[in-house]
Amino acid sequence: MKTRRIRVSLAVAGVAGLGLLFPAVALAEGNDGPSANGSSVSQEEGSERAEEHRKHREERREQRDKELAVSLAADLGVSEDKVTEALEKFRKAKQDERAEAREERSSAESQEERATKRQERLKERLDDAVAEGELTREQADAVLAAAEAGALPGPGGRPGGQHPAHR
């Protein structure tokens, strides 16, 4: 019984030792040491990995989109091609919207000008709500007054629309 226990213990220790040894050997053989910037991966290898990761992500997204299109087509009783076309149109619109927002943020206009534009868009939305009967004029005026006084949170739910780290 004792010899069996000893054998099992030696086998476990051997397997654990090999498990620790192989990664160390692989690292020692595959790496000439850290580069000048402390990174063990060259820029070229990093770029290749990033490109491979991007392609993999794109393939996964396409697969999810295909599965979604099949499911929606079945649920809605329309062709898969029409659903795929609609999804692509939606994605393109969202990409254009994001690009426009990035362009707007990076433009030279001041924070004050952006705040004025936000106020104008808010006023337009409130006017539409009044016209549709969703709000009274008094309610819309109260929201506008609160926004002008800075009582409403800005984009992202923070007062003034700025993240604390960016103040």
1-51 pLDDT, tens digit per residue, is: 566 666 666 566 655 555 555 555 555 555 454 444 545 557 888 888 999
In angstroms, the CA 118 to CA 30 distance is: 55
Q: Three-state DSSP class for 159?
A: strand
Three-class SS state of 134: coil
Does 85 score more than 80 pLDDT? yes
- Taking only the tens place, the pLDDT of each residue in 50-80 is 999 999 999 998 899 889 889 888 988 989 8
